[in-house]
Amino acid sequence: MASRAIKAADQLRAQWYWKSSFDPSSTNEKEEWTKYSDIESAIIEEAFNGNNKTKLIELDNYSINLNDSIQISQSDPNNQQQIKRVLISRHENQGLREERFFLPPVLSKTFNTDWSRDAYTFLSQWKKHKKLSDTEIVKQAADGIIIEGKKLGHECESQYIARQLIAVENKGQQEIYKCCIQLYTMECFLYKLINKAIGEDDTSKANTLGPFCYILFRSWLKADTKHSPELYRGANIDQNMLESYKEATGRERYWNGFTSTTRNRQKAQNFGNTLFIINATNNGGLDISPFSNYDEDEVLLPPATVFKIKKLKKTPTQTYIYLKLRNYIDDALLLYGRALGSRRHHDADLDTHLRLLNLNADARTTFYGVNGGARGGGGDGDDGV
């Protein structure tokens, strides 16, 4: 069965809503409808199109009765709300999602002190001393997301994510990458949890979230679409954070976590008091917009993407911060090489070689795959996916 998470982004899709305004005593109350999360909506739609005649669905906090078009609270069965199904296109999602595109990214340490430490943890710690195939990595990613989802009360959503991953575990690298990217674009707990964990250096989640992060990072390495010369990200930045950027002008810094940017300047500057203008000539990030249900022109930067702060420009209404990304291949080789070197080389020696791009033949083979191509199952080498 093909993964239902992978679909043409421009097709009409079903979005489910529940009626959030309900006052039995009111005769002229304005109707308000609230969206289910993308994954909750997908779970409902799956049942809607299925053969289950009872049409009863369990979500994490509610039961859904499709025959009667109602949502029933699991904590209070008398609390029932209407639901409805609406067909929409991606172009109907006009704005950028605030939590995804506008939260102020924390300015992290310089390259020479601790660059890539947090990203390195998530990309490598879970995989130390293991030889894993593509299938095994995908299985670990699915299992880890279920564990974290249960902790957050998102068991049904995490089970859905896991099913999508398992559906492509034997379909080759490109299908695995597409599935992971599609899941990351969805509005649910996953992308928020990943970036919170990496940003806070929460090593307790390295084994559970590390496999998914690793696949997502590898999809960036293998992508052909890294050619967006200028990217944008809006933010609300306080004076202290603004001073941090000002003091670091001319120096290299990085943001933890996967960072969502957009090619659409107008959308990015519609929110917040600061606009990051990112020169990505040497490092275009990963264009994930073809896999998204949202018309956001999203380009994803991998964890610990290094940039130089070129200048700040203030106007009465907004501050513009100009950044220039480092050459992505330098950073990718360094980051991936550190993961490889955790057991094969002394870290300090390897880092020195990687900074000079003097990878030995064994490291180059593992990084790029056999003869510079993608390795199929990761069977006789160190790295699947």
Please name which of 354, 347, 352 lies closest in space to residue 332, comparing C-alpha atoms: 354
Q: How many domains does the chain have?
A: 2
Comparison of pLDDT for 257 and 341, the residue scoring more: 257
CA dihedral 259, 293, 60, 190 (to 10 degrees): -20
Structure tokens at 86: 């609406």
Query: Is 294 contained in some domain?
Result: yes
CA dihedral 154, 165, 292, 204 (to 10 degrees): 50
Confidence category of residue 366, pLDDT binned at 50, 70, 90:
very low
The answer on 126 and 171 residing in a single domain is yes
pLDDT, tens digit, for every residue of 249-278? 999 888 888 899 999 998 888 878 999 999
Rounded Cα–Cα distance for residues 126 and 203 (Å):
10
The answer on 144 and 283 residing in a single domain is yes
Q: What is the mean pLDDT of residues 367-371?
A: 32
Of 50, 77, 92, which closes a domain? 92
SS3 260: strand
Whether the Cβ atoms of residue 308 and residue 252 lie closer than 8 Å to each other: yes
Confidence category of residue 161, pLDDT binned at 50, 70, 90:
very high
* Strand pairing class (274-279; 319-325): parallel
> What is the radius of gyration, based on Cα positions, of the chain?
22
- Report how far Cα 306 is from the mean position of its chain's Cα atoms: 18
C-beta contacts of 371-376 below 8 A and 24+ residues apart? 374/173, 374/222, 376/134, 376/172, 376/173
The answer on 179 and 313 residing in a single domain is yes
pLDDT number for residue 31:
85
Of 48, 67, 92, which closes a domain? 92
The answer on 306 and 261 residing in a single domain is yes
Comparison of pLDDT for 156 and 381, the residue scoring more: 156
Query: Is 5 contained in some domain?
Result: no
**What is the extent of the structural domain holding 52?**
13-92
DSSP 91-156: GG--S--HHHHTSPPPB---HHHHTTHHHHHHHHGGGTT----HHHHHHHHHHHHHHHHHHTT-HH
Whether the Cβ atoms of residue 254 and residue 305 lie closer than 8 Å to each other: yes
C-beta contacts of 169-173 below 8 A and 24+ residues apart? 169/134, 169/135, 169/138, 169/139, 170/134, 170/135, 172/134, 172/376, 173/134, 173/222, 173/374, 173/376, 173/385
The answer on 35 and 112 residing in a single domain is no
Least confident segment among 1-10, 21-30, 67-76: 1-10
The answer on 131 and 33 residing in a single domain is no
CATH classification at residue 76? 3.30.720.50
Rounded Cα–Cα distance for residues 284 and 282 (Å):
7
**pLDDT reading at 315 higher than 50:** yes
Of 287, 305, 326, which closes a domain? 326
pLDDT, tens digit, for every residue of 58-114? 999 999 999 999 999 999 999 999 999 999 887 666 566 766 766 656 555 543 344
CATH classification at residue 193? 3.90.176.10
Structure tokens at 51: 């053969």
Q: What is the mean pLDDT of residues 144-171?
A: 97
Rounded Cα–Cα distance for residues 224 and 119 (Å):
22
| H or E stretch covering 309 | strand 305-314
CA dihedral 218, 140, 7, 280 (to 10 degrees): -20
